[in-house]
Structure 1
Amino acid sequence: MASEAAEHVLSMEDLREVTAFAKACAQEALEIFEAERPQDARPRHALATAGEFARGGKRGKALRDAAWAALKAAKEAQPAAAEAARAAMAAAGAAYLHPLPNANQVKHILGSAAHAARAAELAGGDQAVGDERVTKAVRHATPALVDVLKRYPVASAGGGRVGELTRLLDAALRR
């Protein structure tokens, strides 16, 4: 493993792989947001821009703007819907994974899945639902995604339940 100070190479294909995974995980939570705020298209737009990038589109201002807009939507929503919007924000933000092997970067890889799992928990009222979503997220992961993940240290401590879900997913994917 490289030291904390040494960068590693991330190709555009690596970033597209991470973004595709993040988008797939967040997509499953979108209905939670839209059930509360059916007229608010910001999280859906963030997922659409993430999908465009994952399929070969440009990584630029539109992607960043869509991520910020989804975050703003999260701040205007109730807890379950807010977590679903954060999942969409994280999916669009996944394209900006940094090549420094820092444990905080794992959030760019797995944050969307963790927020989507937390949204499902809050909507369903049970932590077991979140654990099931983590298991489902593992099935979305490709060998290429796991390869990118393993270039980074394990997920950081903290972050409440979303952090816990991130660490559960991280551990499952590294096995």
Structure 2
Amino acid sequence: MEQDEAMADDSTTIELSRSELREVTGYAVACARRALAIFERERPGDGRPRAAIEAAQAFVDGAERTNVLRQNAWAAHRAAQESRDAGQAAASDAARAAAHACGAAFLHPLSKATQVKHILGSAAHAARAFELSVADGPAVGAEHLAQSLTLVRPVVVDVLRRYPAAPPGGGRVGELIRQLDASLR
């Protein structure tokens, strides 16, 4: 029965307005922007995560949802991979937060738990970047999650509650997403 319910949930369409997508993206931008300094400190001269945040902010401010967002998200994702490969884990998660800011604009109106990552992924990756950038990581990550909660507007919470709870897995970032999700429901 649980499998049948999950299948039914996967096919349910959720109502999402353009203004709601802009609110969700605005939240993701605010979270990613906080971690940008971590990336720029470790990888000066690489403007891809900043460009992704700026592209997402342009959508929030009224620009259309175009391929520019996708291109900037992929560029930030490549910056994250290069950072990871260079042993700069905090910078990698900061870049992933920026990529997720662009991805938030493409939240799908399907009732799938994986879509929660579009809403909360930026905040979780930013928190992980902060955790990895200091000695007392978990405490700093918890502090960042608490600050992320203060950035959430009621519209974002309303949209989040239309989706199933965040899925299992995803390592530490998955844990952070589930913590945020539980705090906002």
Per the normalisation by structure 1, the TM-score is 0.97
CA distance in 2, matches of 1:128, 1:167: 17
CA distance in 1, matches of 2:56, 2:25: 6
Residues 35-74 of structure 1: matches in 2 within 5 Å? Answer: 35-74=41-80
Task: Structure 1: state its 5+ residue gaps.
Answer: none
CA distance in 2, matches of 1:55, 1:97: 17
Name the counterpart of 1:160: 171
Name the counterpart of 2:162: 151
CA distance in 2, matches of 1:3, 1:58: 29
Name the counterpart of 1:115: 125
- SS of 1:7's partner is coil
CA distance in 1, matches of 2:53, 2:116: 19
CA distance in 2, matches of 1:72, 1:5: 32
CA distance in 2, matches of 1:139, 1:59: 26
CA distance in 1, matches of 2:68, 2:108: 19
CA distance in 2, matches of 1:3, 1:156: 13
- Superposed CA RMSD in Å reads 0.9
Name the counterpart of 1:104: 114
Name the counterpart of 1:141: 152
Which of the two has higher C-alpha Rg?
2
Deviation per residue, 1:24-70 (Å, 9 max, x gap): 00000000000011100000000000000011111011111000000
Tell me the CA shift for residue 4 of structure 1: 2.7
CA distance in 2, matches of 1:145, 1:86: 20
Tell me the CA shift for residue 148 of structure 1: 0.3
- SS of 2:63's partner is coil
CA distance in 2, matches of 1:60, 1:124: 37
One-letter code aligned to 2:99:
M
Task: Structure 2: state its 5+ residue gaps.
Answer: 1-7
Asked if 1:12 is matched to 2:18, the reply is yes
CA distance in 2, matches of 1:20, 1:109: 10
Flag as ranges the 4+ runs of structure 1 deviating above 4 A: none
